[in-house]
Structure 1
Amino acid sequence: MTWLGELEPPIDLEFEGIAPPEGVDLPKGDKLLSLCERGNPRGFIEYPAESPVFFIKHGLAVYWNEVLAQDMAYRELRKLGSSVRVPGIFYACRTMQRAVIVMEYIQGKTVEQLLEECKDDEAEAERVRGIVVHCLNDLIRIPVAAGSRPAAIDGGRIRHDVFDCRVASRHYENVNQLEEHINYFLNIAKRKPLVKDLEREPMIFLQEDWFPANFMRDADGRPVAIDFSETSILPSSFAKFLLWDNRFGITIRGRVDIPVTEGVDNTMALLHISGLINMGARSFSEFGYRVAGGDRETQVRMNESIRTAASNAVDAEAGTSTVASIGSSST
């Protein structure tokens, strides 16, 4: 396997998920990599082509976080008895340059496609938007382990629209450090309100990529959530922040049941900091190293802990798919 004269880097991480259907050959390792075009930011393969059983997602912009987040959603929704489907992951692997995920192939149409088909039928469009609401309500119900810190599901930096390029500039050992970082910038910019009592908010499983193409109705009419790359464990105001968006043509605010703590709401502060980060992402990043946990020693230690945890959290039968508690601190 070569690309532009270079050898394919070796596989450094593998994930074994659910068992494939009996009698079906599941491509793995080097065989799987050979099916996927190198240099592609994000590619998709229906396999086998004549009668797809697997959907293969691959590329430079496919992240390991998606593997663990999607597996967690698949397993936890089944435990909850949810009618929302999530494609099960059969196998995934990663090299230094790219990741490849082999998941269930699901027949159906995306919400984006369905909305286009019913653009002149508002009643049907409302039913289609209900698919997204149903998925979000059930995903938010996924239980989060006590002591989890704000982080991506793989333990990496938070992935959320609040931050520049949807990725936090540093790791946080706990919610208090995240609050301190945000308030540092808000104070310098003389913007109110500040974030307050963020640690009192419920921590939730938040798939924050609420685009119509990331939700489906399958051939049996069931709602399906299909993209988990931008998923983190976060205080609930980060979900309320997303409800101010309008990606579906109308607001879905008030239709998603987000858990809250009475008297605590940091949505407006997050809206303010998001705007400030858009104008001064570099400053926000630099300020992060001036507050608790931002020192080089702590950040390096957390990076090392996350890498170690990732190599150990690849057995889907272990009963847990998140390493977001790695590096947590209560102080």
Structure 2
Amino acid sequence: MTTISPIKLAIDANNKPANLPRPEAIVHATNSNSSYLRGVALAYKSCGATAYFWVKYGWSIIMGEAPTQGFVAQAINGKANAAVRVPSVYLAFRSGSYGYIVMEYIDGSRCDDSDAELVAAAVQSLIAIQGPTAAPGPVGGGPIAHRFFVDWESPVTYDSVQLLEEHILAHEGRGECVSFGPEVKAHGLRLCPCDMNRTNFMKDLKGMIVALDFGASCFLPPSFAFALREGDDFTQSIARHLNYPASTQLNPMLMASYILVLFGTNKIGIPPKLKNTAK
């Protein structure tokens, strides 16, 4: 029998539907879904009526996504002047090699190129959110998901910005060194969405932009926003409208990332304290 391992969320899901099916039933229902793309809407009974929730699932689901999305939803939903909405997270767990994130179902339509300015305003609200702790990465801890790293994932979990900086500083003799201290002191760790593909946003029935994907979103020093300059045409059209804290670390960041890509590994220069945890 496959073991189901619940994921501890960063916040209590106080708005979790009372009649939400158990994880075993959710796994069974998704196994019966023959049209899987990104997830599936499943029904449950609420006050005698049929309601829906959304299940995002698959082998590529990063478990740091669920608590990060839950934290951001709490921080942004209902906030005055917020230009974005985030589905609340009810439950997250692993079953076998698959991850499952059970969240609020939001009806609407996918965004397209004509929505770039609206999405940019939504992203502007997201990148203003500061992390709950001083540790870089997803909420609750775990590897960093970011374009900086080969295959978009750090080899270790960094308990502090200093350890992350030590890893990058290990590329000595490359001309420049990175220093995150001043910008973190000034701005804190900011949410850095690293994948702004148009399919990761939708508009609800009231025209509000909804951010759907937090698999590549972590709380990081503002310098990591260099990822906003990359990606497809839609991503770059969004980036042109963003006001992000200025960074003096862009060139050394790009150089360090280049070295990792050149050698095809993230394990170069891992601080001694973390070497035994590298994967």
TM category (shorter chain) comes to 0.7 to 0.9
Match of 1:78 in 2: 77
Match of 1:184 in 2: 170
Would you identify which runs of 4 or more consecutive aligned residues in structure 1 move more than 6 Å? none
Superposed CA offset, 1:116-147 (max 9, x none): xxxxxxxxx2xx101221121111121323x5
State how 1:75-154 maps to structure 2 within 5 Å.
Answer: 75-78=74-77, 80-81=79-80, 82-111=82-111, 114-115=112-113, 125=114, 128-145=115-132, 148-154=134-140
Instruction: Please give the residue correspondences for 1:238-317 in structure 2 after superposition, counting only pairs within 5 Å.
Output: 238-248=224-234, 250-260=236-246, 264-282=247-265, 284-288=266-270, 291-296=271-276, 299=277
**Cα separation, 2, equivalents of 1:59 and 1:167:** 17
SS in 2 for 1:232: strand
SS at match of 1:242: helix
Q: Is residue 157–residue 167 contact of structure 1 (8 Å, CA) maintained in 2? A: yes
Distance 2:55 2:235 in 1: 31
Alignment of 1:53-72 (within 5 A): 53-72=52-71
User: Matched residue of 1:53: which SS?
Assistant: strand
Q: What is the RMSD computed on CA atoms of the aligned residues? A: 2.9
Does residue 21 of structure 2 align to residue 34 of structure 1?
no
The structure with the larger Rg is 1
TM-score using structure 1 length: 0.71
Match of 1:168 in 2: 154
Residue 249 and residue 43 in structure 1: after superposition, are their counterparts in 2 closer, same or farther (change >3 A)?
A: closer
Partner of residue 311, structure 1: none
Whether the 8 Å CA contact 1:206–1:239 is kept in 2: the answer is: yes
Contact 2:4 2:93 in 1 (8 A): no
In structure 2, the residue matched to 1:17 is 13
Task: Spell out the pairing of 1:46-57 with structure 2 (5 A cutoff).
Answer: 46-48=41-43, 53-57=52-56
Distance 2:235 2:124 in 1: 19
Give per-residue Cα distances to partners, 1:232-251, cap 9 Å, x unaligned: 11100101342244431754
- CA shift at 1:252, angstroms? 3.5
Corresponding letter in the other structure for 1:64? M
Take 1:101 and 1:253, find their aligned partners in 2: how far apart are those partners?
28
* Per-residue CA distance 1:131-177 (angstroms, 9 max, x = gap): 221121111121323x5122222300111000011111222232222
**Cα offset, 1:20, TM superposition:** 4.8
1:293 aligned counterpart, secondary structure: helix
Distance 2:122 2:69 in 1: 13
Equivalent residue for 1:45, pick from 40, 49, 68: 40
Secondary structure (helix, strand or coil) at the match of 2:155 reads coil
Which of 219, 225, 229 does residue 205 from structure 2 map onto? 219
- Cα offsets for 1:248-301 (capped at 9, x unmatched): 1754444212134xxx5111222222222122133x40421xx353343xx49x
What residue ranges of structure 2 are gaps of 5+ in the alignment?
Answer: 45-49
Q: Equivalent residue for 1:308?
A: none
User: Which of these residues, 157, 162, 180, is aligned with residue 198 of structure 1?
Assistant: 180
Q: Distance in 1 between matches of 2:223 and 2:161?
A: 12
Aligned length: 266
Counterpart Cα distance in 1 of 2:8 and 2:162: 34
Give the counterpart letter for 1:167 in structure 2. Answer: E
